[in-house]
Structure 1
């Protein structure tokens, strides 16, 4: 029995070469071209995907074999039943992209950020570390999304889309993670 990884809900075999990055598995072997290879050094965030629906990682820095038995969600796995994810729709409504190259990573990172908020994980700019919930200010969003770069400078639209959508998603806490 070969080792598998779940990608957007489908089990796929892991590559036989343990040196294959998760990004290369997605793009070159599975032909899921939404996740982008920007810098290939973990500096731009264009390759961000979700692990187990909540943890955001840079797929260019991850070996596919590290995620054996885990569930990976790329941008292709966000839409459901032919409808865009609410965050994808908000990016359109708030003009949160221009060229669109960074958008897949921005979307996955923002959803990972929402999961962090639900767990009560603070950021560098979180003002009240003892609060039950983190206030999602524009500064808080910008800090949490600082690992995702946009060459076009569509940051205002990105922040507005996240503020509108993630605020609603983060409003329902599911228990706090120890700090």
Structure 2
């Protein structure tokens, strides 16, 4: 795997409101936050661009709604903002895709000549997957850091319920098998982004 010098890391919706287990239900992948932090550190230390995406929910029940404590980034993300050697962007959105946020993510990336994206964050099968799909459709080479994402159990039509882990696997199969993105692990990305020695 080759990571370009200007590959952008998209950190999707890593917000305090996702800690409210009573609202969201059981989650998967307890290692996700440590992996997200490792990716931010690797990207910032290498001078690569990092995009922090925040979901400003318009739902009156959502812990992510504007003005609520849950709308803010988790502490480990907030303390890393503004610390990188590379470019940084804050995108706010109220829908699933970071490409439908403000400011215009696609325009910012293209102006910077970015062709590769790494997607990490919350939720695996919602905003992270939607952003990765759209990135692929827009012609970017997308790497999806599956173990740097997590999601929650979900009930759909006909009473069908899938666990968070089942949903994460479905996302991985859809993105990778469908050609939207290459599904990878955090350690692979960190190793590929490390500066060459010698």
Relative contact order (alpha carbons < 8 A, sep ≥ 6): 1 or 2 greater?
2
Q: TM-score by structure 1 length?
A: 0.30
Name whichever structure is richer in strand by fraction: 2
